[in-house]
Structure 1
Amino acid sequence: MDAPGPWGTGPFLLSKGYSSINNVPAIIKKKPFEATWLTVKENRTPSVVLDANQNYWNKNRGPRLNKIVFRNDVSQEQALHLCTTAEGQVDIVTQVQPKDAKKVIMSSYAKLVTAKGNQVLAGVFNRFKKDVNFNDRNLRLALNLAVDREELVQRGFHGYADPVPAMTPPWAIDYPEDLTPRAYDQENARALLKKANWPEGRKLKLAATKKQTAIAKLIANQIQRTLRLRVDVIIIPEEHEVNWMRIVAEKKLVPAWDILLANATALFYEDTPAFFHREFFGANGALRAGPELPQFNQLFQNMAGEVDKKKRVEVAKEIDRYAFKEVLALFLCIPQSLYAVNKQVKFHPYRTTFELAETEVTVDHWSRRNYPGRA
């Protein structure tokens, strides 16, 4: 939406302000045409106001609030400060960083609300590289065994993440329950690296965005400690992120990195390979960094063409098993979604989206204290 409304038919109507994004295409294929969209700019008014839709069809669901104001005039840090140290300014802060969770827990005004995350964090192997062979399963497995996921979750995410065997979240309908995350194994990791013939003295180049700096350094230290490889951590400047991601998506140039920390998001509880696996390994995957994988393509086509839900779920599980068996990525974890919420707000988080339809406030909420009798 790039202009005031009222817009929408859901629980709330956009009545003031706007929030829009500018995207540019990154062309993956010309025939048939396939592309991904990269966000280059976000345009938001200082505030965006939603009013309750009194004609919303599902009265049992909501809306339960008269008005919602999204504040775009404060930074993440300022919003968290306002939510945890006072009331009347900010009631909900999304995307709270794990390092700030304790600050919320100790607050007299706010509580920490957590939800299982809908983003998978993994390392993309650069299989286009010529001087090292990431098409060798031994090398990919060596690196996976060199990562201590429990340490990653505890130190990198302060416990607010879930390790995964491959790409599918444990909460998804198509999660293969027979898989478990690979354990940290120094001895086998070193033996496999030797089999993979890693060039003597060759550094491993690990790239990540600025937001992932701490996680990248932690993983780099684990790999250095376990495999006795020197690791260069490349932090991508925010102003260059779009160009870096365009190179990965368009696949015309060979990226300079060996492993790229990246994430993908799922919007539904099922058919998760359409969001995670396709993005990392698919023919039209923006994060695929290597030649197409015929077996993966076939499995994905089987899932896409299956109309029976139960059978489609089973094929989706097979896709995750295949990714796990072939060690197609540096499998890491699913970070949890953290929210700072005013203690007088009843907020119900969703795993796949940010919804406020069922959110309500108690009679002790500041808005109701200031306006007695107001619903």
Structure 2
Amino acid sequence: MTQRRHFPGGFLFGTATSAYQIEGHAHGGAGRTHWDSFAATPGNVVRAEHGQLACDHYHLFEQDLDLVAAAGFDTYRFSTSWARVMPEGRGAINQEGLDFYDRLTDAMLERGLKPAATLYHWEMPSAIEDQGGWRNRDIANWFGDFTDVIMGRIGDRMYSVAPINEPWCVGWLSHFEGAHAPGLRDIRATARAMHHVLCAHGTAIARMRSLGMTNIGAVCNFEYANPADDTAASIAAAGRYDAIYNRFFMGGIFHKSYPDLALEGLEPHLPEGWDTDFDLIGAPVDWCGINYYTRSNIAAKDGPWPNVQAVEGPLDKTQMGWEIYPDGLYEFIMR
């Protein structure tokens, strides 16, 4: 049996949550988000569930952190809700929201937990969504202003911070596949959202550096793209899938470029002057976080770009129906 002593000195064990999924958004003066609207639209969410109460972490965070500490974790990764801090996304600040994150941070430190913050875990203030959300280039500076407010209050006590959790979900899953809020299926919206997410990432990095903060990184999600068979068509399709899912965001952050296989379909829809934003997007970070879950078995299909489809594979699956493929994590660490 592997035990903690088998890991290198300094290896940290942690657990993580996201604000909208646990806090209870109806409490504490939080503003509306696009997830509130998405969840209220019939057919979008199983059993029409929503985040108004969630786990009531807003009131129970002390007990919740007792559980985290008792489980022996070293660090707790949490996220902040933009709409809790700035209900309209811009302008007026909700002091009750800031006070909550201040108390939450101190409660972690009191229990010996290292606070690891994520600024944005998918909940866009509705007022910002009304102005185009991630499709609007101005969102980079609006997000930077939020960063100044929240990290100006708690940044001095953070162990680490990442601006945006899983950009692929924020950009592609939400604007091309329509599976997450705002639930769009529009390639122009997708291209702009994917690019502007990275502009916001870079802006937040710069704002936190100006506050004197360190240990700032990027958290991307990755999915191993496995060709469904050895045909040239499936191999090419898996390459396109990999470029969109894994290489687009990493390319922007670490190489100041986007992969050609992604630009094949996205470039006509990117905003004017997109290729002048890479110095902002590629602001140096201190670490890269890897969120890895599964692989997809990719084949080609007829239709417009990217003309890819996932087909069922032979491996054991999780309750979510995701193939269990730990080798993919090794692949991404090595890559």
User: Considering the TM-score relative to the shorter chain, is it more than 0.5?
Assistant: no
The answer to which structure, 1 or 2, has the higher relative contact order (CA under 8 A, 6+ apart) is 1
Structure of greater Rg: 1
TM-score, normalization: structure 2? 0.31
TM-score, normalization: structure 1? 0.29
